[in-house]
Amino acid sequence: MLSMYFNIHGGSQQQEAVAAESEPEPLSIFRTQENDPACQSEKHFGQYYTLPSAHVRTVFPHGLPMRYKQQVKTFNEACMMVRPPALEVISSLKKTDNSKPAVRYLFYGLKGSGKTMTLCHTIHFCYTQGWLVLHVPDAHLWVKNCKELLPSSFNSSRYDQPLQATEWLRNFRITNEPFLSKIKTKQRYVWTKRESTEEGSTLGELVDQGITRVKTSSDVVGAVMKELRLQSGQPESDFRLAVAVDGVNALWGRSTIRKMNNTAVDPEELTLVYNLRKLMKNDWTGGAIITTLAQTGAVYTSKYSYLPKELLGEKGFDSMDPFIPVSVPNYSEKEFESCYLYYMDRHWLQYPHSRTEDGKKELIFLSNRNPSMLERICGFH
């Protein structure tokens, strides 16, 4: 049994010190030992599997939701629930044909129903299978709160966002370390009169160029995307590309960034968004595009909208069409039971009242089995 010490100063976010290393745990109904997403199946529905911490550091430097990151720090383990929407997409991904154009998947659902977590689950699968993961954690960050907006050197009608681009390149480098030395560029890129990246240089050099020379980082991002798009699915390249975008409705929405003359910037005029939109089209082969809708960080959208057409808009829907919409609902009864037992096991539910049947009914009533609501409420119970 794991023994844990924790200091009670009321409330959430406490550090736990694991006193003894875990011996093989007794079989618990809410956990599964199957930590490889490729081997998970329907019988693991509702059960939590543990992500190895090495994976968490590499695959998700920037992808996990904020509250989940805090939970990982508190519980000292990263456990994710196996749910039907994720497994559906994973089984489709297993059957993808490298020669066919990339299929687009879109997770949609109510606020807090687990779309980002499902996306992370699928990304974990892609990583374990050795795919190259191009993960944009929140496309909304690229269309709002831009501190520095430069006119693009490549195309004067577009705008660069160096800060966002460098940050993304850094995280991309952490995730895809092994591929950086394997993939070679097929084209020569000239950045300034004196700097250029020759044909045949590795992707790693390209990425470093972007991180060191901050001014050109947005164009580097565009170059990286172009290279990967052209090369994936080709007979000579041995990697498969998984493009994962959270909050894809930001690409076709409105932005809050304003130009110097106080007119709003269309997302199309941003280099990052323009290049990402090109990736979203299914004119390349050998991979998959997995996306999520997000209202949480969206600007100029109603709080209650969650359906694809209302968040994507006409233009977005027509660009994404044909895609496979996958609904991510609130917890089912079984999943709720599993989550409840997990929190009990982690001693997250501290009051004795929550151990009773009445307490459980209260939790169901207050949260309506919505995952994020349940997580917040359990912090107070």
Binding site for other proteins (CB under 8 A): 92, 95, 100-101, 103, 282-283, 285, 307-310, 318, 321-327
Burial of 234 (C-beta count, 10 Å sphere; 0-12/13-18/19+)? middle
DSSP 184: B
Return the number of the residue (88 or 205) whose C-beta is nearest other proteins.
88
Calculate ∠ Cα 346-118-381, nearest 5°.
30
Burial of 5 (C-beta count, 10 Å sphere; 0-12/13-18/19+)? exposed
Burial of 181 (C-beta count, 10 Å sphere; 0-12/13-18/19+)? exposed
Return the number of the residue (220 or 290) whose C-beta is nearest other proteins.
290
Return the number of the residue (104 or 121) whose C-beta is nearest other proteins.
104
Least separation in angstroms between CB 92 and other proteins: 6
DSSP 39: G
Least separation in angstroms between CB 301 and other proteins: 15
Return the number of the residue (16 or 88) whose C-beta is nearest other proteins.
88
Least separation in angstroms between CB 350 and other proteins: 38
Return the number of the residue (188 or 309) whose C-beta is nearest other proteins.
309
DSSP 354: G
Distance (Å, whole) CA 378 – CA 232:
44
Calculate ∠ Cα 79-107-178, nearest 5°.
60
H-helix segments, 135-270: 162-175, 177-180, 203-212, 217-231
Residue 18: phi and psi, rounded to 5, are: -80, 115
Return the number of the residue (59 or 320) whose C-beta is nearest other proteins.
320
Least separation in angstroms between CB 6 and other proteins: 43
β-pair partners for 151 = 159
Return the number of the residue (198 or 321) whose C-beta is nearest other proteins.
321
Burial of 12 (C-beta count, 10 Å sphere; 0-12/13-18/19+)? middle
Least separation in angstroms between CB 324 and other proteins: 5
How many other C-beta atoms can be found within 10 angstroms of the C-beta atom of residue 206? 21
Least separation in angstroms between CB 374 and other proteins: 22
Least separation in angstroms between CB 293 and other proteins: 12
Return the number of the residue (39 or 324) whose C-beta is nearest other proteins.
324
Least separation in angstroms between CB 245 and other proteins: 19
Contact 271, 146 (CB under 8 A): no
